[in-house]
Amino acid sequence: MTVTLVVATLVLGAGTFAFRFAGPLLRARFALSPKAERLMATSAVVLLAALVGTAALMEGAELAGIARPAGVAVGGVLAWRKAPFVVVVLAAAATAAGLRLLGVP
């Protein structure tokens, strides 16, 4: 069991390194059109927004309630206003915790 875990960790680490190393190497060999580059940038934003939306609104198969989305909204507004990361995280956590302390699900 331990050997399998160590081997799996090493393989995962090598694969991750290979993917990260391949990016700069292949970037010089392939040229993407400006339209494709815009599409890839937009796709990354859409995927990140979907991840945030899912994590903020759902807890397993159930809705997460109001406190978590409210905390995410506060964090999103502060991030949009370019607040320091620590302030964003602490304000989002404090909002969710405060609402839960008041009994809001």
Angle at 18 between CA 14 and CA 22, to 5 degrees: 175
Tens of pLDDT, residue by residue over 66-90, are: 999 999 999 999 999 999 999 999 9
* Average pLDDT over all residues of the chain: 92
pLDDT at 27: 79
- Distances from the Cα of 59 to the Cαs of 54, 68, 85, 99, in angstroms? 9, 10, 24, 17
**Entry pTM:** 0.60
DSSP β-ladder status, 62-63 and 58-59: antiparallel
* pLDDT(30) > 90: no
pLDDT-based confidence at residue 17 (cuts at 50, 70, 90): very high
pLDDT at 45: 92
Name the nearest CA neighbour of 67 among 95, 25, 45.
95
Residues 6+ apart with CB under 8 A from 79: 88
Question: E strand or H helix at 94, and its extent?
Answer: helix 85-101
Residue of 30 and 44 predicted with greater confidence = 44
* pLDDT(42) > 90: yes
